[in-house]
Structure 1
Amino acid sequence: MSKKNNIYVIGHKNPDTDSICSAISYAYLKNELSQKQEEECKYIPTRAGHINEETQYVLRYFEQEAPLFVNDIRPQVIDIEIRKTEGVDAGLSLKKAWDIMRGARIVSLPILEEDKLAGIITVSDIAYSDMDVYDNMILSKAGTSYKNIVETIDGEMIVGDLDGEFEEGHVLIAAANPDMMEGYIEPQDMVILGNRYESQLCAIEMDAQCIVVCMGATVSKTIRKMAKEHGCRIIVSPYDTYTVARLINHSMPVRYFMTTENLITFHTTDYVDDIQETMAKRRFRDFPITDNQGNYIGMISRRNLLDLDRKKLILVDHNEKAQAVDGFEEAEILEIIDHHRLGNIETNSPVYFRNQPVGCTATIITQMYMENGIEIPEKIAGLLCSAILSDTLMFRSPTCTAIDRIIAEKLAAIAHIEIEKYARDMFDAGSNLREKSAKEIFYQDFKKFNDSNINFGVGQISSMNKQELSACKDKLLPYMEEVRTSYGLDMVFFMMTDIINESTELLMVGDMCKEVIENAFETTVESSSAELPGVVSRKKQLIPAILGQLS
């Protein structure tokens, strides 16, 4: 199936358990529906960031591979229609190369050595080789094989074998009488001549490396015997002397004329944006493509860019620009499945958009399985249930609805897990915070937002151990300031949520933070921190409160 038929199901940056599990589960559902409807497409679960430890635990528990990592969805060279121009060996003759290019109507031919690109030969290179004036040692300088010579002049090797190359000596035409020939034929020369016995004998006795007999003339037994004794090859060609002399230079190998330096090549993983400028500056007709191991793949030209297909995306668990994978603007968004507030992603055409006020995207996806009559496999049920337990903090979050709980219990039965025990193990795996760096903790679940031209970010960790949460404070606050500066944010908040006590200690950096939080929650901010009893949900409690103050 062509890569053009791939559709990537992807969650937000810094993905949480819902983002990862929803991408996997929705891709599975779409593939099942695609098979039913006999569609020619493949849905691929994808992620836009590192998988946190809680989600790693879930994937290990249900023996599920992590989704494909994609940090930039812009079109790549691999998305272009690459022309599969076959590469040729560096020893190929100029004539053969010309015949291939003329037959395929191409102007460039890649030269390969063990599947690696060694050089490029073009129609212009062959034209120059034909027009330039070379001395009569050019065939030997080029290391021309006897096989190439025989093929090029449509000849037959009647004495000697085709193995080996013409590596030294001149190429001469025996137009003079034998007395004069003795003065200019040297050992190892190649002599083009006719059917004159005396000339043939003279060339052999002068230790010529090879003689080329033209016009398909018969070579006597005596000459053949003499040639064998002197180690001289004999080639017979049906062409006249002029034609053989004109064609024989076309037997030279392409390696002698190909371009090997300053080759402009692209990799399959290069982004189209990055190669367009290079292609515009260079007047080459074709550009070779290699994979990441340097193996030749094919050729592209500027014309191929006209047929570029944008990658196709389905977004799950988000619908805001700041949270979407880099380059999403250059992709074609087909669907959005989410449970958050409506964000600011714009699409070029209408899309299927399903947004419900429930506690988890996985809840919506489970409903879609049921609506379409698709049986939920045990492992997929486990992933969906894990996402709901994670996003609803085991039903403690105010975002949790009755439908979340009902569906989670049904999924748990299919997955054969006991909710209370499994959820505690899952949260414990994700909240092993003491050994982690500030960066590892911070990016377990971090999202950026924009409102009223104010940019802010909110991260969150949840744990059943309040002491473990408190121990993170001192290393998180300095790192949050680094994050604020690097992203150019006005404010950065971080929720340290105590699942058991259903409360959050909120850390903050930024000039407006204190005023925003104190007004929003009627609390007191001290040392860049505030206690928020009853607040456990970023989506339903913290973000709306912040946005209310900003507006």
Structure 2
Amino acid sequence: MAEIFVIGHRNPDMDSICAAYSYAYLKNKVDPGNTYIPVRCGSLNDATKAQFERLGVAPPPFIKDVRTKVSSVTRKADSVVQVDDPVYTLVSFYGTSSRSSVVPVMEGEKYRGLLSVDEVSSFILKENSGKRPLYHFVVDNFPKVLKGSFLRKGESKSFSAPIMVGAMRYVVFCRHMEALQGQAPILVVGDREDHIKKAIELQIPAIVLTGIEHEVTSNVDWDSYRGTVFVSALDTAETLRLLRLSVPVVQLMVQDPPSLQADTLFEEARDILAE
């Protein structure tokens, strides 16, 4: 059922007001599936006021503007994400075709902006072009995207780092670690004792151990390590794929996005968003 306004011209006289009132009354009788509401865009003159008073009928209410506003085209979101939620959560929404392609981002109860497929595509394209990407990781997002658990949580709740996969021989691994030139990575590696010991020595921010279904067999001194260790039951390739999607959605957002008010005219809103 829709609410449909019936209105006369901008500076209404008695004919205009009464025609709107009468036509709305008729339409409500012949089309009960919708609600027709008589309204006016101007003041009532004395003669029109007197006529409605004589009949004991309330005149149509005044509305300032009948042009489409932002509030006319807004709708309640099917889903929202919090600023620290992983990109994986956002991507998962798009697996359901019935969902909107635009998802609101909240910080608690505060609205922060919108994310769409465009921002996800930009994120994926950016990380696969140019030099080795730097990711911003939130430690608490690891179990949200990976099957596994923490062996220990480090001092830093979040950090920025490139990803290193320890799939090469130890000597080659050390050479690659040195080539990062001070950009301490997050290491994704199987239960490789020498690689893990080197990572602990360098005090990199986090180590993700892969393909471990029971317990770590490497004999290492975890107590000397200040970073995070997460044990993933998934293989290295799958762990790596999902780890990249643990990045918080706030990293995809445009800083200082344009804002609109509910009473902003639709045409004005369109121009603001098109800039």
TM over 0.5: yes
- The CA distance in 2 between the partners of 1:192 and 1:89, in whole Å, is 27
Task: Look up the equivalent residue of 2:35 and give its one-letter code.
Answer: K
Residue aligning to 1:67: 61
Per the alignment, do residues 131 and 267 of structure 1 end up closer, same or farther by CA in structure 2, a change over 3 Å counting?
farther
Q: Aligned to 1:199, what secondary structure does the other structure show?
A: helix
Per the alignment, do residues 81 and 164 of structure 1 end up closer, same or farther by CA in structure 2, a change over 3 Å counting?
closer
Residue aligning to 1:212: 208
Task: Please give the root-mean-square deviation of Cα atoms over the aligned residues, in Å.
Answer: 5.0
Per the alignment, do residues 215 and 40 of structure 1 end up closer, same or farther by CA in structure 2, a change over 3 Å counting?
same
Alignment of 1:190 onto 2:190: no
- The CA distance in 2 between the partners of 1:78 and 1:42, in whole Å, is 19
| TM-score (norm. length: structure 1) | 0.37
Matched residues, percent identical? 20
C-alpha displacement of 1:9: 3.0
- The CA distance in 2 between the partners of 1:116 and 1:180, in whole Å, is 41
Per the alignment, do residues 76 and 187 of structure 1 end up closer, same or farther by CA in structure 2, a change over 3 Å counting?
closer
Residue aligning to 1:470: none
Alignment of 1:125 onto 2:117: no
Alignment of 1:148 onto 2:135: no
Contact 2:162 2:183 in 1 (8 A): no
* Structure with bigger RCO (C-alpha 8 Å, 6+ apart): 2
- The CA distance in 2 between the partners of 1:97 and 1:67, in whole Å, is 44
Per the alignment, do residues 128 and 192 of structure 1 end up closer, same or farther by CA in structure 2, a change over 3 Å counting?
same
Per the alignment, do residues 7 and 38 of structure 1 end up closer, same or farther by CA in structure 2, a change over 3 Å counting?
closer
Task: Look up the equivalent residue of 1:238 and give its one-letter code.
Answer: A
Task: Look up the equivalent residue of 1:117 and give its one-letter code.
Answer: G
Task: Look up the equivalent residue of 1:147 and give its one-letter code.
Answer: D
- The CA distance in 1 between the partners of 2:242 and 2:98, in whole Å, is 22
Task: Look up the equivalent residue of 2:140 and give its one-letter code.
Answer: K
Per the alignment, do residues 134 and 8 of structure 1 end up closer, same or farther by CA in structure 2, a change over 3 Å counting?
same
- The CA distance in 2 between the partners of 1:268 and 1:198, in whole Å, is 63
Alignment of 1:100 onto 2:67: no
Residue aligning to 2:11: 14
Q: Aligned to 1:45, what secondary structure does the other structure show?
A: strand
Partner deviation per Cα, 1:205-260 (whole Å, 9 max, x = no partner)? 4322211101125226975xx54564321111123334433443233234334456
Per the alignment, do residues 19 and 106 of structure 1 end up closer, same or farther by CA in structure 2, a change over 3 Å counting?
closer
Task: Look up the equivalent residue of 2:170 and give its one-letter code.
Answer: N
Q: Select the structure that is richer in helix.
A: 1
- The CA distance in 2 between the partners of 1:144 and 1:57, in whole Å, is 71
Residue aligning to 1:326: none
Q: Aligned to 1:128, what secondary structure does the other structure show?
A: helix
C-alpha displacement of 1:41: 1.6
Q: Aligned to 1:124, what secondary structure does the other structure show?
A: helix
Task: Look up the equivalent residue of 1:252 and give its one-letter code.
Answer: V
1:173 pairs, out of 165, 168, 179, with 165
- The CA distance in 2 between the partners of 1:125 and 1:271, in whole Å, is 27
- The CA distance in 2 between the partners of 1:46 and 1:194, in whole Å, is 71
Residue aligning to 1:109: 102
- The CA distance in 2 between the partners of 1:64 and 1:221, in whole Å, is 84
- The CA distance in 2 between the partners of 1:230 and 1:66, in whole Å, is 75
Contact 1:213 1:237 in 2 (8 A): yes
C-alpha displacement of 1:149: 3.6
- The CA distance in 2 between the partners of 1:209 and 1:65, in whole Å, is 71
Contact 2:138 2:159 in 1 (8 A): yes
Contact 2:69 2:262 in 1 (8 A): no
Residue aligning to 1:294: none
- The CA distance in 2 between the partners of 1:55 and 1:195, in whole Å, is 88
C-alpha displacement of 1:159: 1.6
Residue aligning to 2:240: 245
- The CA distance in 1 between the partners of 2:155 and 2:94, in whole Å, is 25
C-alpha displacement of 1:30: 5.4
C-alpha displacement of 1:164: 2.8
Contact 2:189 2:207 in 1 (8 A): yes
| TM-score (norm. length: structure 2) | 0.65
Per the alignment, do residues 105 and 71 of structure 1 end up closer, same or farther by CA in structure 2, a change over 3 Å counting?
closer
Per the alignment, do residues 59 and 172 of structure 1 end up closer, same or farther by CA in structure 2, a change over 3 Å counting?
farther
Per the alignment, do residues 248 and 195 of structure 1 end up closer, same or farther by CA in structure 2, a change over 3 Å counting?
same
- The CA distance in 1 between the partners of 2:59 and 2:139, in whole Å, is 56
Per the alignment, do residues 18 and 159 of structure 1 end up closer, same or farther by CA in structure 2, a change over 3 Å counting?
same
Contact 1:20 1:67 in 2 (8 A): no
Q: Which runs of 5+ in 2 are unaligned?
A: none
The size of the alignment, in residue pairs, is 262
Contact 2:113 2:253 in 1 (8 A): no
